[in-house]
Structure 1
């Protein structure tokens, strides 16, 4: 069994949403070349996770300035996560968390403005 077939079998067993997208887009022959996570290694991820946990605490702070900073940071971390992961992997993560795209729009209103004439804000 080639490495591509092994990887495809592993994906099909472990990540059903990604497997569905692979089948729909006919890229099963290219699975071993897909960059699922583009730029974060374990150390980068650990640092970011600590920053996110700190920002969560800041978001519930009594300080208005800390809450504003936490809100801006939320958008930064959202953009970093989406820029660092493959679209299929993001959809798998949403499915595993039981979240829809509408839930994400509610969590990140600055990234997804309700008014279609308003432009996306990148902080």
Structure 2
């Protein structure tokens, strides 16, 4: 059910925002100087969280279930690397994206998961 999935994702995002807000409240004003919480940073943190979630699914033998989080993280890292303002940030985000891609290919080569091949749909 698509609506249910979207609702679950909304609830997850809401929980994550509340956690970030709580963490921010724990910091003093001086500690927060120069720290900005931007949409890009939230997306980056979410991509990292997706990778951790995918790795734990993989660890517990749920290889097919880890495809979604890995793929979402790959898309986020790619998008963030395209928007990055410095070469250093672009390079790091590209490395993260490539690491996720290597993991997906490794899982595919081991026969643990089947990835959709966009070239085969033509």
Asked whether the two chains share a fold, i.e. TM above 0.5, the reply is no
User: Relative to total residues, which structure has the larger helix share, 1 or 2?
Assistant: 2
Tell me the TM-score normalized by structure 1.
Answer: 0.36
TM-score (norm 2): 0.36
Relative contact order (alpha carbons < 8 A, sep ≥ 6): 1 or 2 greater? 1
